[in-house]
Structure 1
């Protein structure tokens, strides 16, 4: 199968600690890199991950709280010092221009590459990126400011040719693409060879859902149903449920309830509050509801 990885660069929340970096992840799909959020220290973590800076062309910012975007100026500046020439696209709520343009105007007046800010809305799902193998769609969330997650969906591959059968029936090269697209083959004598005899199904497309800061929000369940991997914030343990509601965040137990309702294959939780010295409390509470759960941690790589 083609590469589809999630790399955790940071999984802490707003208050910095010595245990966790602020939120950032990189999705690696077929050696194309897509960054999700960019808190302080992201570029350092990027270095540690051994991922190639040159393969990152798109950054997706869930919302404009500092722990999700304060790493952008440093990363942009570092790219300049490395001699980058390829365009860098930053996808975020339209207020990204209010935050980032003054910084670019003051510190980055002579960048050797173009930084393009691509705004999106957060009130309804919106397709914000597409190439021949991937789509990325926003997942509207419920936070104290405009905020969304992101749904990465691999496009379905065409059927795979069974080479021995194609050779046996002497299928012309001109017919191969049509057969890959599901058509039967008709021999010169008029015999219909079923497509199922000439091909086998490709692997089912994989999906990754990233759900950033949000209060417990059941409306996302339908959109993320059945994903291969769900990252969901779990800022607090259940003993801080009132605090979670007040700050529009989620507990680990609530994240697990979302995963269970959406019938996802695996849950990854993160965005841990600095008040907890031991993250095991999050895993304990989540696995009571949804056993297929893992804690995010810096340096973790998950293959989808």
Structure 2
């Protein structure tokens, strides 16, 4: 599970900083999360394959989180994409995108599927045999969701020495890996636990941006491996949070501690600050395992 930060700064892009966008690679799937201005350029800089992106998740319709979407959709057409593209975002995402395609007469040569979100309760928005994605309702100035990505449990690992010791035919190997006990020819039942090892623990990743400090999300991200949480301001500017509906580094750390997450990644930094290191310092007064996002940074989770 790898996370590539394409952009992690608030509001407008600058020469050396980009608005929010990131790529999560999980179980050989590549998910694009938010698509701020310049996302496709950042994809190229980070040498990420456009063709592997089949699912785009948009948290909310503020420009620094989706202004790069129409450019990416159009570039896919120029690259002669044929694979379906699924876009998950607030109601209005489809209207905005199709209007731009219509007025520029730039219809795609591939299928675009929009999954528009309106629920203020958590809901599953994507699921296949390996990964499940659900929303994390957030409190911001417009309708906003975070997203929780979870690996599904893998099949059990065969203990080849134990299987061979019992003389079990290879035809039963897949059944054993699926969790079944085995009955031998003499009637003895061999428990699955004696024939297999536990698979690696499923990993999980939560994306929480943008939001005011909100303890209601704690049960939704409880015990998650890695949480990316916005930290627009330092504590010295906490008075701005209520007006803008954003969070401080300390508040993000408090959420991480309450949820007992393993790792916290801070991002969505206001561009008013000359350095992002103070965000780590403030957060670590509350929660120890803190990392800082930055454009181009890759986390091996």
TM-score interval, smaller chain: over 0.9
1:56 maps to 2:53: yes
Question: Which of the numbers 173, 176, 179 marks the counterpart of 1:179?
Answer: 176
Q: Is the Cα–Cα contact under 8 Å of residues 221 and 258 in structure 1 kept in the other structure?
A: yes
Matches within 5 A, 1:161-200: 161-200=158-197
The normalised TM-score by structure 1 is 0.96
1:18 maps to 2:15: yes
Deviation at 1:193, TM superposition (A): 1.8
Aligned residue for 1:85, secondary structure, equals: coil
CA distance in 1, matches of 2:69, 2:91: 16
1:106 maps to 2:106: no
CA distance in 2, matches of 1:189, 1:230: 51
- Which shows bigger deviation, 207-216 or 117-126? 117-126
Aligned residue number for residue 4 of structure 2? 7
1:189-243 superposed Cα distances (whole Å, 9 cap, x missing partner): 1122222221010011000000010000000000101111000000000111110
- Say how many residue pairs are matched: 301
1:119-173 superposed Cα distances (whole Å, 9 cap, x missing partner): 1224011100011100000000000110010000000012111112212212133
1:39-66 superposed Cα distances (whole Å, 9 cap, x missing partner): 0010010001111111001100000000
Aligned residue for 1:109, secondary structure, equals: coil
Matches within 5 A, 1:150-299: 150-299=147-296
Aligned residue number for residue 121 of structure 1? 118
CA distance in 2, matches of 1:236, 1:127: 31
- Structure 2: which 5+ runs fail to align? none
CA distance in 2, matches of 1:110, 1:184: 54
- Which shows bigger deviation, 26-35 or 259-268? 26-35
Aligned residue number for residue 40 of structure 2? 43
Aligned residue number for residue 298 of structure 2? 301
CA distance in 1, matches of 2:119, 2:241: 21
CA distance in 1, matches of 2:26, 2:105: 30
Deviation at 1:249, TM superposition (A): 0.3
Aligned residue for 2:246, secondary structure, equals: coil
Q: Is the Cα–Cα contact under 8 Å of residues 253 and 284 in structure 2 kept in the other structure?
A: yes
CA distance in 1, matches of 2:153, 2:104: 43
Q: Is the Cα–Cα contact under 8 Å of residues 91 and 118 in structure 1 kept in the other structure?
A: yes
- Which shows bigger deviation, 87-96 or 228-237? 87-96
CA distance in 1, matches of 2:108, 2:98: 13
Q: Alpha carbon RMSD of aligned pairs, Å?
A: 1.2
CA distance in 1, matches of 2:105, 2:224: 39
- Structure 1: which 5+ runs fail to align? none
Q: Is the Cα–Cα contact under 8 Å of residues 77 and 108 in structure 1 kept in the other structure?
A: no
Q: Is the Cα–Cα contact under 8 Å of residues 122 and 146 in structure 1 kept in the other structure?
A: no
Aligned structure 1 segments of 4 or more residues deviating by more than 6 angstroms: none
